[in-house]
Amino acid sequence: MLISALVIFIALAFFIMERVRPGRGLPNSRGWYVRALFLNLAQYGVVTLAGVTWEDWLHGSSWLDIASVMPSPVQGVLAWFIGTFIFYWWHRIRHDSDFLWRSLHQIHHSASRIEALTAFYKHPAEMIVNSVIISLVLFTMLGADLEAAAWFNLFAVSGEFFYHSNIKTPHWVGYFMQRPEHHSIHHQYDVHKFNFGDITLWDRLFGTFKDTREFAPRCGFDEGKEEQIGKMLVWVDVNRAQAARS
């Protein structure tokens, strides 16, 4: 319960900071808040579903048993670090595969406004697959306990809100974490590549890091494409003409 309250507090803190001192002006997007509310509520639904399905099914048998040798917060940190490596590659695969881009990831990149609300502006199917992968890492691979899973989620969700938020950050933060400025390059119009990881270590090691001190001038798809959410939900690629994504 305490960790859930922390997640809510962190989300609200980013929303407030964006409005008190925004990093840059964001474009007006017709229907943005309705779409964002719908998809963020879908994320809540996936979390609820996970708790009574695959999390329960996968919790029990595991390759390792870190729950027996370390406290829950340490388990959470370890699982999160391992998860950043796995999700770095999973993120690249979603860009490299036309099918996965179309069916899972394009909705997230269609947004012209990159802010805290965009963190979970994702196709429900992508949310489900991501949640299953997280459960496999936590429970099947590592044998973490449920409290560790809560700590993992705190770190992962905080990171998502941070690097999607519309706030300026010190350049030195980028030696460790992906900054909002870095992630805007990842979402940049006609680019949609570079800076895949939650932390910059993996991008630096595998040649996908692109440093910047400024936000990308424009993000998302061609004008009007992000409003075609109905098509994207049924896996229609609404932006075929854009540049390669890897």
CA distance 31 to 100: 25
pTM of the model: 0.93
Each residue's pLDDT, cut to its tens digit, for the chain (246 residues) gives 688 889 899 999 999 999 999 999 999 999 999 999 999 999 989 988 888 788 888 877 889 999 999 999 999 999 999 999 999 999 999 999 999 999 999 999 999 999 999 999 999 999 999 999 999 999 999 999 999 999 999 999 999 999 999 999 999 999 999 999 999 999 999 999 999 999 999 999 999 999 999 999 999 999 999 999 999 999 999 986 444 454
The residue type of 41 is: L
CA distance 82 to 71: 17
C-beta separation of 3 from 151 below 8 A: yes
CA distance 30 to 139: 41
Every domain of the chain and the residues it spans: 2-15+31-233
